[in-house]
């Protein structure tokens, strides 16, 4: 049977589009990369890449095989992680990032469970804005709980909730008495935006033609909107009292964003017992 390492090399060549880029990514000599391809082709008596173009292209057989190779590599990786998790010891520390729009009562329930079951584990908790994916990919956290519409192939996701973000103004906002408020009406007033907590992550949900006031946290954003100084999107689950007292007014003329919230981890990284407790905690919310 051919070694998985040779199949991995073939997959990287396919992903990178050249032997040179594959050798750089794998930190292997070009000759070693070519050797892996040769070993597989000779063993199975098939040609995987054409040699008559500048860049390697999959042959007809190669296109069929690459899907099988990718599936096999994924299964092997899953097995490796599972086997390491079976024998993993309790983590001394666990780094978690949680989106500021996620319901805090669910977070405190999670932390209470961790405290009870793993009292000696040190928990590092980052409350972030629009940066959960980036922090995870940059290995700043072990597990992330965040919202987003796009998914990265390097990350394993479990959808645990949906966060509704309508546009709100306060009863003190200059246009509060108007029946229908359009986006054209709003852009003459500041949109209050929580800036991303991580420098390489983009801010989202911004009306480009308007005025923006940037703040560092959601409590400040909420306070500015309540004061009537601006408008913006706020998580529905956090505003029950203000809505009941009509201190905040939801603008039905503006579309409500509904963002899926995930618990996420890197596919390549095994979680210990504490991390798996976090991963499985939100099953009841699915």
pLDDT digit string, tens, across residues 261-270:
999 999 988 8
More confident site: 88 or 21: 21
How many CB atoms are located within 10 Å of the residue 154 CB? 12
Q: What is the average pLDDT score of the chain?
A: 88
Instruction: Summarize the confidence of residues 150-174 as an average pLDDT.
Output: 92
Instruction: Summarize the confidence of residues 235-256 as an average pLDDT.
Output: 89
Instruction: Summarize the confidence of residues 62-77 as an average pLDDT.
Output: 90
What pLDDT shows up at residue 79? Answer: 82
What pLDDT shows up at residue 88? Answer: 63
Same fold, 4-86 and 167-255: no
What pLDDT shows up at residue 286? Answer: 47
Model confidence pTM above 0.75: no
Instruction: Summarize the confidence of residues 126-137 as an average pLDDT.
Output: 89
Confidence tier at 99 by pLDDT (50, 70, 90): very high
Whether 227 shows a pLDDT value over 90: the answer reads: yes
Of 39-43, 78-82, 174-178, the one with minimum mean pLDDT is 78-82
Instruction: Summarize the confidence of residues 91-114 as an average pLDDT.
Output: 91
Percent of the chain with pLDDT over 90: 46
Whether 282 shows a pLDDT value over 70: the answer reads: yes
Confidence tier at 131 by pLDDT (50, 70, 90): confident
Query: What would the DSSP string read from start to end of 173-198?
Result: STTTT-S---HHHHTTSEEEEEPPSS
Q: What is the CATH number of domain 167-255?
A: 3.40.190.290
Instruction: Summarize the confidence of residues 162-170 as an average pLDDT.
Output: 92
What pLDDT shows up at residue 108? Answer: 92
Query: What would the DSSP string read from start to end of the chain?
Result: ---HHHHHHHHHHHHHSSHHHHHHHHT--HHHHHHHHHHHHHHHT---B-SSSSS--B-HHHHHHHHHHHHHHHHHHHHHHHHHHHTPPPPSEEEEEEETTS-HHHHHHHHHHHHHH-TTPEEEEEEESS-HHHHHHTTS-SEEEEE-S---TTEEEEEEEEEEE-EEEETTSTTTT-S---HHHHTTSEEEEEPPSSTTSPP-S--TTSEEEEESSHHHHHHHHHTTS-BEE--GGG-HHHHHTTSEEE-TTSPPEEEEEEEEEETTS---HHHHHHHHHGGGG-
Whether 90 shows a pLDDT value over 90: the answer reads: no
Of 9-18, 81-90, 105-114, 254-263, the one with minimum mean pLDDT is 81-90
Instruction: Summarize the confidence of residues 46-53 as an average pLDDT.
Output: 84
Instruction: Summarize the confidence of residues 141-153 as an average pLDDT.
Output: 91
Instruction: Summarize the confidence of residues 119-131 as an average pLDDT.
Output: 89
Name the residue ranges covered by the structural domains of the chain.
4-86, 93-162+260-285, 167-255
**CATH homologous superfamily, domain 93-162+260-285:** Periplasmic binding protein-like II (3.40.190.10)
What pLDDT shows up at residue 179? Answer: 86
Whether 208 shows a pLDDT value over 90: the answer reads: no
Who contacts 232 (Cβ-Cβ below 8 Å, separation ≥6)?
Answer: 167, 168, 191, 192, 193, 221, 225
Instruction: Summarize the confidence of residues 152-168 as an average pLDDT.
Output: 92
Multiple choice CATH, 4-86, 1.10.10.10, 3.40.50.2300, 3.30.200.20, 2.40.50.140: 1.10.10.10
């Amino acid at each position: 049977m051919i070694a998985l390492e040779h199949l991995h090399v073939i997959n990287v060549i396919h992903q990178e589009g050249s032997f040179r880029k594959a050798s750089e990514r794998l930190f292997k000599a070009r000759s070693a990369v070519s050797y892996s391809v040769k070993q597989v082709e000779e063993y199975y008596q098939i040609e995987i890449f054409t040699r008559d173009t500048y860049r390697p292209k999959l042959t007809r057989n190669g296109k069929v095989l690459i899907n099988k190779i990718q599936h096999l590599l994924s299964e092997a990786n899953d097995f490796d992680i599972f086997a390491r998790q079976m024998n993993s010891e309790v983590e001394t520390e666990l780094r978690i990032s949680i989106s500021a729009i996620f319901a805090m009562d669910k977070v405190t329930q999670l932390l209470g469970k961790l405290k009870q079951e793993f009292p000696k584990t040190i928990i590092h908790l980052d409350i972030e804005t629009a940066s959960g994916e980036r922090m995870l990919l940059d290995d700043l956290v072990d597990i992330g709980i965040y919202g987003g519409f796009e998914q990265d192939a390097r990350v394993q996701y479990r959808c645990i909730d949906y966060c509704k973000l309508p546009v709100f103004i306060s009863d003190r906002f200059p246009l509060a008495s108007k029946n229908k408020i359009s986006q054209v009406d709003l852009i003459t007033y500041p949109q209050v935006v929580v800036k991303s907590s991580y420098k390489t992550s983009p801010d989202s949900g911004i009306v480009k033609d308007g005025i923006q006031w940037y703040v560092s946290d959601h409590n400040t954003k909420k306070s500015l909107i309540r004061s009537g100084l601006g408008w913006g999107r706020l998580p529905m689950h956090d505003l029950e009292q203000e809505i009941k007292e009509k201190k905040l007014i939801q603008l039905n003329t503006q579309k409500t964003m509904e963002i899926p919230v995930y618990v996420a981890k890197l596919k390549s990284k095994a979680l210990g017992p504490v991390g798996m407790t976090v991963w499985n905690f939100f099953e009841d919310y699915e």
